[in-house]
Structures are given as structure tokens and as C-alpha cells.
A and B are shown apart, each in its own frame.
Chain A
Amino acid sequence: MIEDLCDKCEELMQPYLDRELSEEERLEAEGHLAGCGHCARRYRFEETLRQFVRRCCEESMPPELKAKLAALRTPLS
């Protein structure tokens, strides 16, 4: 029974962290997470992982490119 709930919770993890669950599903996930350390630790890990991946993959635009894009604007006549 508990394993079924954990399986369901795993299914909800991605849309939960994407904030795409319905209110009902969100409450269902949170209700389970409040009492299940196994799932709570995995959700926390997934969230940390996403932030970490994002931090590693973000690269700022080179200033020269910004200038090039600005130069593409239609000249004012």
C-alpha cells in the first residue's frame, strides 16, 4: 500500500516541481511528502539538482552580440 503511494508520488514529482499540478494533485503530493521521508528526500534532491544544472548551464550573452542585435534595428528615418 505504502509503496503504491510512493509510486504515485514519484509520478507527480516532475509536474509538482514544475508547478503544473492541479490543486487536488498538489495537495495529494504534499500530504504524502509530509509523512514520507523517503519521497521527501528524493523531491528535495530533484529540486537541488535542477537548480544546480541550471546554474551550470546558464551563460550570459556576450556584450558584443547585444551591440550587434541593437544595430539590426530599423534606422529611424
Chain B
Amino acid sequence: MSETARESEPRRLASDARDRVRFEEEALELSDQVYRVARRLVSTREEAEELMQETYTRAFRSWRSFTPGTNMRAWLLRILTNLNIDRGRRKQRAPVEQPLEEGDYYLYNKLEHTSRDGNLDEERVLERLSQDEVVGALSAVPHDFRDAIVLVDIGDFTYADAAQILDIPIGTVMSRLHRGRRILKRELADRVEEE
């Protein structure tokens, strides 16, 4: 019945090796995209580089557990976020301090208020923020919220993919994203004000 059972051992090994090489090539092709997300999940470039190497080491070792035809980028990021949590890189969650959060339109309203004629030129107003300030504002968002923002806004993942990667329900992704973006806007508003 099964043809594979009749295959000779060398043939099976050769086919296995081909699958593995194909897997490794595909994973490497995705590494730029995986890095872009990894870089914003941790604080420093060094941490991101270490995490990437650990992720690829584990991925190459356990390549058989990847189901061909499914989303490999999400699979790699699942490994990466697990490693990030396991290794205790995350600071202990602050037990009491609730991040400051305003409404969805907080930043818009703030900026509109400061524009002379009440007509907001978004691009020009945002250019008042430097790249470092924006990166700083994102880093100031607590981990749980930031992970969701980074996966969806920088990694372009759907809510469903982000839920799978973070191993949380989709409703939790939505609420973390929602609150996280509000916190981010609050952080950005603080930085615009300092100008």
C-alpha cells in the first residue's frame, strides 16, 4: 500500500535532505522580515542579533515540526517570541503601575490644537518627531502591548497570526493592540510637546 515503505533507505535519506535544505533556504529568505520584527521586540541590536541566532538554531534543529504550506514567517516568530520570554529578557512586569492612556484621537486633537489655522498637515507635523523619538516612544510602551503593535504594524501580521504567535486569544490581541496604540500616541504626544 505505502510506497514510501518500499523506498530504499538511501533514497529516503536523500529526499529528507532535500526537504531540509529547502526548508533552511526558505527560512533564510525570510530572515530580513523576521529581523525587522525582532529588532523592535527587544531593546538593543545586540539582543536582536542574539535572539535571531537562537531562533534559527532552534528552527533548523526542529524543522520537521514545521507543517509545509503553513505560514513559516509566523512559525519562526512564534519560536522567537517564546525564546524571548523564556530567556527572561523581559523585565519583570511592574505590578501596579498602569500605563497612561488616552483616547484614539488624543494625538490628533493635541496637534490640531497647536496648528495655527486648525488645519492639520499630518506629514509636516509628524516630521517634527525625530526617528529616535519615535523609536523611544515605542520602547516606552509596556512589553505585552508593544509585542502586539510590533507584530501587526511592523510585521504586517493579521490578528489571527499575532494571536497564534503570542499564544493568546484573538480578543486579547485586539485589546492589547487597541490599548497599546493609545499608549503609543500618548508617548508621541509627550515628545511633540517637548519640541
Q: Which residues of B sit under 8 angstroms from A69, Cβ to Cβ?
A: 28, 31, 52-53, 56
**A59 near B39: Cβ-Cβ < 8 Å:** yes
Q: Does A2 contact B (CB under 8 A)?
A: no
Q: How large is the interface on A (under 10, 10 to 19, 20 to 34, 35 or more residues)?
A: 20 to 34
Q: Does B168 contact A (CB under 8 A)?
A: no
Q: Which of A48, A61, A73 contacts B32 (CB 8 A)?
A: A61
Q: Which of A44, A58, A62, A76 contacts B49 (CB 8 A)?
A: A62
Q: Which residues of A sit under 8 angstroms from B111, Cβ to Cβ?
A: 45
Of the stretches B2-10, B67-75, B93-101, B173-181, the one at the interface is: B173-181
Question: Which residues of chain A in 61-77 are interfacial with respect to chain B, using CB atoms and an 8 Å cutoff?
Answer: 61-62, 65-66, 68-70, 72-74, 76-77
Q: Given known contacts A44-B122, A61-B36, A65-B35, is B104 in contact with A10 (CB within 8 Å)? A: yes
Question: How far in angstroms is the closest Cβ of chain A from B26?
Answer: 12
Q: Given known contacts A20-B159, A61-B31, A65-B49, is B138 in contact with A48 (CB within 8 Å)? A: no
Q: How large is the interface on B (under 10, 10 to 19, 20 to 34, 35 or more residues)?
A: 35 or more
Q: Which of A42, A58, A59, A74 contacts B24 (CB 8 A)?
A: A74
**B32 near A60: Cβ-Cβ < 8 Å:** yes
Proximity string of chain B (108-131) to chain A, C-beta cutoff 8 Å, 1 when within and 0 when not: 100100000000101100100101
Q: Which residues of B sit under 8 angstroms from A58, Cβ to Cβ?
A: 36, 154
Question: Which residues of chain A in 1-55 are interfacial with respect to chain B, using CB atoms and an 8 Å cutoff?
Answer: 10, 13-15, 18, 20, 41-42, 44-46, 48-50, 52-54
Complex formed: what's the CA distance from A15 to B39 in Å?
A: 25
Q: Which residues of A sit under 8 angstroms from B56, Cβ to Cβ?
A: 69, 72
**Residue on A with the closest CB to B182?**
A14
Q: Does B186 contact A (CB under 8 A)?
A: no
Given A20-B159, A65-B52, 10 extra CB contacts under 8 A: A42-B104, A45-B108, A45-B120, A45-B122, A56-B131, A59-B36, A59-B40, A61-B35, A69-B31, A77-B17
User: Can you give 10 A-B contacts (C-beta < 8 A)?
Assistant: A10-B103, A14-B104, A14-B177, A20-B158, A45-B122, A48-B126, A57-B135, A66-B32, A69-B56, A72-B53
